[in-house]
Amino acid sequence: MCGRFGASFQYRDIKAFWNLRGDLPGFFPRYNIAPSQEVPVILRNESRNELKPMRWGLVPSWAQDPSMGQGMINARAETLLEKPSFKQLVPTRRCLVPADGFYEWRREGKHKVPMWIHLKNREPFAFAGLWDSWLDRDAGSQLYTFTIITTRANALLRRIHDRMPVIYDREMGQQWLDGPFGAQSMDLDLVLQPLPSELMEAHEVSTLVNSPENDTAECIQPVSSIQPVKRQLPLL
């Protein structure tokens, strides 16, 4: 599962990295992105990559209303070609979601401990995703939404959760956008593998991240180890 992530970089940091066309005014670092929020997503348009703002939580074009997106923030790699919501999007509506880390909650007894997971080299990467557009007939406008594809967890993530997002570097990300994939003749398993554990790190963070209202750099900072306070005995 991927239910919260960060993109704590400037637009210039990813424009050259992903060979993006144009500019995106208002782009700013994010540290705690939650479902239903709008974020920039990379699409392939006329042989060029470009960013387009989209809402997280896929609303299929045939949906009766946009509330369907609340339950479609993730799509399982193993069943993409079985689900009507995703099957028709695989050939032509693949996308990349720029990020530099994501959160997962490790269960410790009755408590859940938030963890920040990122690449060891601290570089931006992208999640594999699918997108769609839904016509709001009342407003006469298009709603663009996306979902993040998940796969089985690697050895690092397995200690925290049994699922993880599909993560791409520049080369694999471009392959996801450009590849001649089709719902009838592709082997998704080859391109939707978990990233190797040795490329990733994870550390505990503050429970600040539990609230989407907190979107600051403090969210991704490691929790400091607290030394127990030694009680001073009264002098006799």
The residues near 68 (Cβ < 8 Å, ≥ 6 apart) are 58, 59, 60
Assess whether pLDDT exceeds 90 at residue 182. Answer: no
Contact 53, 105 (CB under 8 A): no
For 183-220, what is each residue's pLDDT tens digit? Answer: 544 578 889 999 999 999 999 999 999 999 999 999 99
Looking at residue 186, what is its pLDDT? 55
Is 2 part of the annotated catalytic residue set?
Answer: yes
Assess whether pLDDT exceeds 80 at residue 181. Answer: no
Catalytic one among 2, 50, 108, 204? Answer: 2
Q: How far is CA 145 from CA 53, 89, 128, 178, in A?
A: 9, 12, 14, 20
State the maximum Cα–Cα separation within the chain, in Å, rounded to a whole number. 84
* Secondary element (H or E) of residue 115: strand 111-119
Around 218, how many Cα atoms within 13 Å sit in the side-chain half-sphere? 11
For 7-44, what is each residue's pLDDT tens digit? Answer: 999 888 888 889 898 777 778 999 999 999 999 999 98
- What φ, ψ does residue 169 adopt, rounded to 5°? -85, -170
Contact 183, 130 (CB under 8 A): no
* Secondary element (H or E) of residue 114: strand 111-119
Is 104 part of the annotated catalytic residue set?
Answer: yes
Catalytic one among 50, 95, 104, 123? Answer: 104
Domains annotated for the chain, with CATH where assigned, are: 5-220 (3.90.1680.10)
More confident residue, 124 or 46: 124
CA separation for the pair 212, 30 (Å, rounded):
11
Number of residues in the chain = 236
Percent of the chain predicted with pLDDT > 70: 92
- Mean pLDDT, the chain, rounded, equals 89
Instruction: Scan for tokens 């600051």, then name that residue.
Output: 216
Looking at residue 158, what is its pLDDT? 95
Look at residues 98, 93, 81, 94 and name the one whose alpha carbon lies nearest to residue 14: 98
